[in-house]
Chains A and B, each alone.
Chain A
């Protein structure tokens, strides 16, 4: 530590003062006490001013003691062995005490610095404790006010070029991120950089980013203690950022869940509110007296309304992402059977052929969604078939191909490309009784389960819809 010339002057003034006092009071003091008094300026200088002035005070004190007090007085000669010992002991005590005092001083300064650094970190942590994103901005402003302009650099957003950071700065930043240790100005790595780069998580490669702090405006070099302190602050910023990111993620997830829950509730309420009157309507019509043919026609329309409603709910579920497929091992026979059951009245007038090998492998699908797909495909076939519907499944190239064929007029060329679009209908097919959503739902549900569905021509004319399903390997315990 450097001491100003004033320190030396003060130390010498102290020695002169003691010399004056002891010179005047020697007859009353005695030599030993006088020598002790000369230690006072040494102690005072080493505690208050510095080691240099203390040494000067010790030397000055020794000379003054010798010259003024030690007989023969007013000469620098030392007579007698005991006087030599006196001066030597005085010098030794003065040197040791000044050393000890200087050490004490250094300790105290160190403790003060540490307390200051801790207080600074505590203040900084308090600053970062908020839950809003602007705490980071405030923290950077805080650093800028004390250390130099600061900015955050995200691990994934390290720019290739930057208006402020030179290519040397950027490579130092890259190094700090890679090596998870401080780099740039004030560090051992690329100290020529104009910025200090302090990673969020030193020692943990893969941290999410770093804090960059510009070198001090004064042009001086950043000291090691400052670097340590900045590293501590960078760590706090990293923790705050992780916490904020987590809170953010939680909040957006909750928002999403709320929205999904609301949509599900609405869909369920809508389905309920449609189905109840439809049930009453169908029941009342069935109980009416009168022309049975007219009654059947009315009932068919009521059922069509119900099917349209189901399709609308299905479309809303696809649209809202409310499908949550539960993929499990499914026996296609089960789903085909359930679909045919549900379509019993629509299929009554047709001949339905099933070709399902006894050793047909199980498939991986959501059984409820798959059944809904089959209801729509077989229902569609029933609307277009003249007399015959064929349902066949077989393993092919590691997957299961399920065909639903009808013997109708087939798919018109102009419809081919947009068959699975919503409200796509063949010319004049308005009387066919579909909602125009059925095949769009087939596509939407198939997409949700990662199945592919396609349309083409059946071997004997008519339309063929094909669903490709992944085979499910099962071992039974």
Chain B
């Protein structure tokens, strides 16, 4: 059974998330403090973790960094915080996704399953990365949608390479800009908007209701679930 570490200092949330996980066929490993969470990582070796950011003994953002060093499975952040900057910080430190309170049990399960699927994805042997109907071969500068080659500019291709490489994980605007345009351009989200608009025109069935390249306003882009 897939074991999921649940870290939250509120006993009621801990119980609730455990119940949701059991309903979804997962095993829950509860921890009420950051210290307990770090101990359980060694002891129970969980496959994934769901973490509340407001813990009494350690800043949630620090805990993400500490867990990321100790486990490879997906980390999902539960947050009641509004601040966009907190969400970006957790993603930049290696969290895979975040779910805002109040959340829906089914939504949480869906996010968890998607994250686990991404983590379990076989690494391409032939150098080709896949995401649903998308297949990208970076070495040959070749992107195919449903087997049909799509002509992309170098920037468009680089953005798709990062997004497909993340496999549906949310990639922050700053991260995309840094990797495609370079560290000097982390603030130039204008560039990204224009390139994503062009990509949607080439890849989406309905560019005004995109399903492939999704945006979390103020945070980043991800590829839609397939």
Contacts and interface: CB of A to CB of B under 8 A. Distances in A.
Contacts of A280: 10, 12-13, 16
A279 B102 contact: yes
- Residue with the greatest number of chain A CB neighbours at <10 A, chosen from B10, B80, B189, B201: B80
A276 B101 CA distance: 7
Interface string A368-402: 10110000000000000000000000000000000
Contact of B190 (A275, A357, A476): A476
Nearest to A331: B193
Given A272-B54, A337-B209, A279 B189 contact: no
A268 B84 CA distance: 12
B190 A362 contact: yes
Nearest to B20: A283
B193 A474 contact: yes
A272 B78 CA distance: 11
A276 B196 CA distance: 36
B111 to A, nearest CB: 13
Contacts of A476: 155, 190-191, 194-195
Given A268-B82, A358-B208, A329 B101 contact: no
Nearest to B209: A354
A99 interface: no
B12 A358 contact: no
B113 interface: no
Nearest to A364: B190
B138 interface: no
A355 B209 CA distance: 10
Contacts of B191: 474, 476-477
Given A280-B16, A333-B208, A362-B190, A271 B82 contact: yes
Contact of B81 (A271, A338, A362, A368): A271
A286 B105 contact: yes
Given A286-B105, A338-B217, A333 B207 contact: yes
Contact of A368 (B102, B197, B217): B217
A319 to B, nearest CB: 16
B56 interface: no
Contacts of B123: none
Nearest to A374: B217
A276 B217 contact: no
A117 interface: no
Interface in B182-217: 185, 188-191, 193-197, 200-201, 207-210, 214-217
Contact of B194 (A267, A283, A313, A474): A474
B130 to A, nearest CB: 24
A330 B193 contact: yes
Nearest to A360: B208
A278 B215 contact: no
Nearest to B108: A283
Interface string A248-282: 00000000000000000001100110011111111
B218 interface: yes
A367 B87 CA distance: 15
B26 interface: no
A367 B218 contact: yes
Interface string B63-79: 00000000000000000
30 contacts: A268-B81, A271-B80, A276-B12, A276-B80, A279-B16, A280-B16, A283-B17, A284-B16, A287-B23, A302-B102, A313-B82, A326-B218, A328-B190, A333-B207, A333-B210, A337-B214, A354-B208, A356-B208, A358-B201, A362-B193, A362-B194, A368-B217, A371-B217, A371-B218, A474-B190, A474-B194, A476-B194, A477-B181, A477-B188, A477-B191
Interface of A: 267-268, 271-272, 275-284, 286-287, 302-303, 306, 313, 326, 328-331, 333-335, 337-338, 354-358, 362, 366-368, 370-371, 472, 474, 476-477
Given A330-B217, A333-B197, A337-B215, 5 more contacts: A276-B101, A280-B10, A334-B217, A335-B217, A368-B84
